[in-house]
Chains A and B, each alone.
Chain A
């Protein structure tokens, strides 16, 4: 029998790509770290849980519905989105989380030799998907913790197919205002697709914050990404979507897997965006209260932090972020280390209810005191 030579079968860009290994389940982590409670401050989940309408959908989902395929095109959800945002249903494409639509967009527009442009310190999935698709990635350093529009424009060439802008940026919380975004889109001049990832759109309460859904009326190369995982707390259901001009969506649809969004996710998402005003207001208040607690706390410790938009805050730590993670985990607090975002010795903390924030403050204080001794 011949010998399998995998290194000759697998494309080089796949051999060079490193798989992502997600964290272990909470129960396993709790057992390993010897804690009875684990506060999740690592994934920017909405600790209030989903809006009330979603509870009803989940309660009404009965086993008899399980054998039936979901609607392959998210028919009712797209109608709902179209109504809410004053668009047509064919401007939406729903995916199994935003990660799936990232993949679909890259597959639709890029081939070997093409490149994408994004920042070096932002959501990693744009970079990952491009790399394992064999597409060159141009990473532009942040400038003052913000995407740098001029450097991104300078990096463009004839092979640039997509620019990814995370607005507000995860993890810095910085954003481009309307002027910056408009000037940028004019300068791009339709030469490539511009993805504006608005995963934290509903958390932003700033008058000068641009809405990609509106911008695409003027700039047909704009693709907006939104998710139900952050504000609407449907992370376990995995559902996100993109919105763009019908022609762009038609192209992306060709590479998009149908039936990837399950029925409860479609129904819950539709329920979530129905009458969501009070829910969003309550969530924003929770985030503000948490921010108001943490900022003075970090000030007192003399630590640098970034408190921008979104339901998270970043702080620079006096010890390695990965050691701090382990020490906080021993106290039942799970934060996100930022080395993987190329911010060594920073952590990102999700902003949730006061009792949990207080538990974080106490644990953080204790850990920092112990290493200072």
Chain B
């Protein structure tokens, strides 16, 4: 069988003369990789603006561009060596600044456009190598909730990690019918995305079925970082929740037991989770779209023996960490650190992930900068103006500069909510914004 190539790669220099070539590659390649015309045009526009920007700020820099079909999206990676000083214009809030001061902002308008015309983007730095990846999601049709209850499973139940696409789609519809939206991922509404992500080994699902193939329950998981697995469920559709839940959880744990993951956790665990298997990580207060307050328990367990590690912490976080680690029996060497007045880049960059239906936003520091206090404030204002009621800020305690943000986070209205072990290079602390007007 001849397979469609899954990526195209170009090595070029940062110069506007290559823009037509880049556009040609994207406009030809992205549809072959499954992107629709509208999103292809936006992707090509973003790439054009990015090359324009780089040719102004780092003329002649060597650049690799790779267009790739991922499971449920198309990505364009730009890898180059450069200063990251100008990347601040990819902040969610950059639009306001640029529109206020066009003389200052014109050079950065391109980056702003880049960040706005694609579905999402990421930035990583490895010494002087900058990776900017732009993502365009494939569009999938939405399904309706299942209306009629299934026939009850009978006889012996067994767990299966290989599932037919139709079974996944069917199970997603059953989950939508049986559980509130706060307990399942948004993508369940577009199961084609789930099916493609499962095929691409980005997302995983297990089903419990009876001998006739009737589905009794489902559990899903994904791998958000190298050392963590996040799961959703267990979702039960039968009258025998105990056995079904046990089978689903055992399938999940044995499936990920020999991966590099250390922490298995859930922010969307259902009440049928076998509690002895997991440890409560935190109890969060969330404000739903309709104003209702929701209390949610986060659960986790380790998959490996935790033999401890060192973490950086701002002095004002140390007590919270000590108490948390003691409760969780986690051995950590806490090394306190705060900014020592050292020279920092002028402009910071914050990553943002928005979940509009839940009114939930998560921020994280991508690049440090002297303006980070103001930058965080700008983000809070924008998000609260847009009615985001659940705002989180995540820092990786393996990075001293991120830990040092602890002081600023408290000043800007955040409080430490929980520790997610090994979610970054070491543990992450998730702060939650406490709106004084709420």
Residues on A facing B (Cβ under 8 Å) = 1-3, 5, 18-19, 23-24, 28-29, 32-33, 120, 124, 127, 318-320, 322-323, 325-327, 329-330, 336-337, 339-342, 344-345
Contact = CB atoms under 8 A, between A and B. Distances in A.
B258 A3 contact: no
Nearest to A327: B329
11 contacts: A3-B81, A18-B259, A18-B260, A28-B308, A320-B302, A326-B302, A326-B329, A326-B331, A327-B329, A329-B331, A345-B277
A160 to B, nearest CB: 21
Given A339-B257, A342-B258, A33 B129 contact: no
Contacts of B330: 326
Nearest to A328: B329
Given A3-B62, A323-B329, A325-B305, 16 more contacts: A1-B62, A3-B64, A28-B307, A318-B276, A319-B276, A320-B276, A320-B278, A320-B279, A320-B301, A320-B302, A322-B303, A322-B304, A326-B306, A326-B331, A336-B305, A345-B277
Contact of B64 (A5, A19, A28, A340): A5
A18 B302 CA distance: 17
Classify the secondary structure of B's interface with A: mixed
A57 B307 CA distance: 34
Nearest to B303: A339
A116 B115 CA distance: 48
B79 interface: yes
B254 interface: yes
Given A5-B64, A18-B259, A23-B305, A339 B253 contact: yes
Contact of B250 (A3, A318, A344): A344
Nearest to A4: B129
B307 A23 contact: yes
B304 A339 contact: yes
Interface in B259-285: 259-260, 276-279
Contacts of B81: 1, 3
B133 to A, nearest CB: 13
Nearest to A326: B329
A345 B257 CA distance: 12
A124 B258 contact: yes
Given A29-B307, A127-B258, A344-B257, A323 B279 contact: yes
A337 B333 CA distance: 23
A19 B304 CA distance: 14
Interface of B: 11, 62, 64, 79-81, 129, 249-250, 253-254, 257-260, 276-279, 301-308, 329-331, 333
Given A2-B62, A323-B329, A342-B258, A24 B279 contact: no
Contacts of A3: 62, 64, 79-81, 129
Contacts of B64: 3, 5
Top 5 A-B pairs, shortest CB-CB distance: A322-B302, A32-B308, A18-B260, A326-B329, A344-B253
B308 A340 contact: no
Contacts of B253: 339, 344
Contacts of B276: 318-320, 345
Among B307, B308, B333, max chain A CB count under 10 A is at B307
B330 to A, nearest CB: 7
A198 B330 CA distance: 37
A329 B301 CA distance: 17
Contacts of B254: 120, 342, 344
Nearest to B332: A32
B10 to A, nearest CB: 12
Contact of A33 (B249, B302, B308): B308
Contact of B329 (A2, A330, A337, A345): A330
A322 B62 contact: no
Nearest to A23: B307
Contacts of A322: 301-306
A167 to B, nearest CB: 22
Contacts of B260: 18-19
A329 B307 CA distance: 9
B327 to A, nearest CB: 11
* Candidate in B249, B301, B333 with the most chain A CB atoms within 10 angstroms: B301
A341 B257 CA distance: 7
Contact of A337 (B250, B259, B278, B304): B304
Contact of B305 (A5, A18, A124, A337): A337
Nearest to A367: B329
B152 to A, nearest CB: 27
Contacts of B258: 18, 124, 127, 340, 342
Nearest to A128: B258
Q: Which of B62, B258, B276 has the most CB of A within 10 A?
A: B258
B297 to A, nearest CB: 16
Contacts of A120: 254
B279 A29 contact: no
A327 B331 CA distance: 11
Contacts of B329: 323, 326-327, 330
A291 to B, nearest CB: 24
A344 B304 contact: no
A345 B11 CA distance: 50
A331 to B, nearest CB: 11
A124 B257 CA distance: 11
Contacts of A28: 307-308
Nearest to A330: B329
Contacts of B305: 23, 322, 325-326, 336-337
B84 to A, nearest CB: 16
Nearest to B256: A339
Given A33-B331, A127-B258, A344-B250, A323 B62 contact: no
B237 to A, nearest CB: 23
Contacts of A337: 304-305
Contacts of A325: 305-306
Contacts of A326: 302, 305-306, 329-331
Contact of B331 (A32, A124, A345): A32
A220 to B, nearest CB: 33
Nearest to A29: B307
Given A320-B278, A322-B302, A342 B257 contact: yes
Nearest to A131: B258
A24 B307 CA distance: 7
Contact of A323 (B11, B129, B302, B304): B302
Contact of B301 (A2, A24, A323, A336): A323
Contacts of A127: 258
Contacts of B129: 3
A154 B259 CA distance: 27
B277 A24 contact: no
B1 to A, nearest CB: 16
